[in-house]
Chain A
């Protein structure tokens, strides 16, 4: 299971890639593995304003339906248009092709509170 060093992670198993004031968000390898085959993804519309800690989307697998929580506040500037038709990208490429949304951060300092790869791995070992 991979946890790229350049990403930040949340306790709800989202990952965040910060580039300038834009954050790309997806779910971790651990999350996709726990969910199993993803069959449906619901994403917000471009322009939606996300509040950190609030749900902004839904991932449904053959096992469960899970909310996706915004790790960071900001406005959605782009969504992954491929996901609704090919939700399996979340399983096959959670960190690249399976990204979910890009947001323009309203409070970039929030990113500093997230876990780095090492802390996240420790966290999920505690969850097992």
Chain B
């Protein structure tokens, strides 16, 4: 079998509560040589909490074994479309662990925090330059939080002009969080159909004086560049609306095209996607927001400003939508993103995007013909196939499970919704041609298996610690707590 997947000994592991043995300890303290002081009774609980009692080695083995069950981008290829699971260079981690950054208190006086403030200021400037926005906030804690920030800014803008408006237009190729954000900000969501690409005509038809904004993702969730974006922005602007861009797919555009130049008014960045900071459960994320000069007054406060060579936090911003996050956002993530930007530089960032697009198109050309390609327009950084040409009553889910046997994390499945049985592959720039070839071989083998031996797909995965899980049963009857 091709691919990195192999069978091997895996160690079982119980819940940590099941290891517990009364009186077992992971420490030994010297004898008490001061008087015993008890907490006041109002601060103590009546029952002793049922914490597990373990030795140090029990705890270390418990978490080490669990970590060995994990599959991350450090273990292998992770082509989760739309999520940009790119490798996180370790130099970012070294930078974030420098004591000056990792140990600074968030309430440290400004005159003792100049290094951290300078980093934030320079990151604001760098993100603004990369995407074409004169003002940036670093506060939002993740992408959807950035969307919320951006839409609150749009709402504040319309309110300042006397009418918050009622509707937000969202194409069917936008990111799934966009409608939720619009609804949370009190807007009615008006879906706009596209045939892969959003047309200016479709926007013009829906755009009226009651529409606050259009929310687009560019490139969209089909990995296609919204080629009519300039015209679309003009149409929205002519009728007093603003254009929000979900920056989740910015990885395709670095150093090549700038959303600010396309007419976008507000955009969030996903540092945990585009700028190689950790992702998923290992996060946290970070979702800075860039805006036009006209909207800068509404940004969350405080904003880092420079006066001569001194950096400070500017709270004196009366039109601000207020604070969206405690302290200064996920600062450790900001350090990692800054390290990434500085180690690559302008040329390197551009090359990263070019390689991301090249890799996606390489996979596309190797699998095209075997897997059905529902949209044939030239892809950017990700490519969407469907399960139409799988045989033997095999579907996307079966393919995804079978890929696990080959040693790969499955791609994004059943999204975007506009493609039936979608298989959304985003290799990112960090993968070598050898890795891509090996993955494509696995995909081709699986298509072949669907013709000759479909049970291989139906029964997959067979090489994992657990076989196929009953996802339906787990969702219908979830067991959410452990009982003794």
Contact = CB atoms under 8 A, between A and B. Distances in A.
Contact of B475 (A34, A62, A128): A62
B417 interface: yes
Contacts of B415: 64
Given A34-B420, A62-B471, A39 B476 contact: yes
Chain A interface residue number, banded:
10 to 19
Contacts of A87: 476
Nearest to A87: B476
Contacts of A64: 414-415, 417
B70 interface: no
Given A63-B414, A64-B414, A39 B420 contact: no
Contacts of B413: 63
B472 A62 contact: yes
A64 B422 CA distance: 12
Interface string A50-85: 000000000010111000000000000000000000
A40 B475 contact: yes
A34 B396 CA distance: 12
A60 B475 CA distance: 10
A88 B414 contact: no
Chain B interface residue number, banded:
10 to 19
Contacts of A39: 472, 475-476
Nearest to B471: A62
Contacts of B420: 34, 128
Nearest to A66: B417
Contacts of A37: 471-472, 475
A70 B415 CA distance: 24
A87 B476 CA distance: 8
Interface string B406-432: 000000011101001000000000000
A63 to B, nearest CB: 4
Contacts of A62: 471-472, 475
Interface string B442-484: 0000000000000000000000000000011001100000000
B117 to A, nearest CB: 42
B297 to A, nearest CB: 35
Nearest to B388: A128
A88 B476 contact: yes
B180 to A, nearest CB: 10
Nearest to A65: B176
Interface of B: 397, 413-415, 417, 420, 471-472, 475-476
5 cross-chain pairs, A with B, having the tightest CB-CB distances, nearest first = A39-B475, A37-B472, A63-B414, A62-B471, A39-B476
6 contacts: A37-B472, A39-B472, A39-B476, A60-B475, A62-B475, A64-B417
Given A37-B471, A39-B475, A88-B476, 17 more contacts: A34-B420, A37-B472, A37-B475, A39-B472, A39-B476, A40-B475, A62-B471, A62-B472, A62-B475, A63-B397, A63-B413, A63-B414, A64-B414, A64-B415, A64-B417, A87-B476, A128-B420
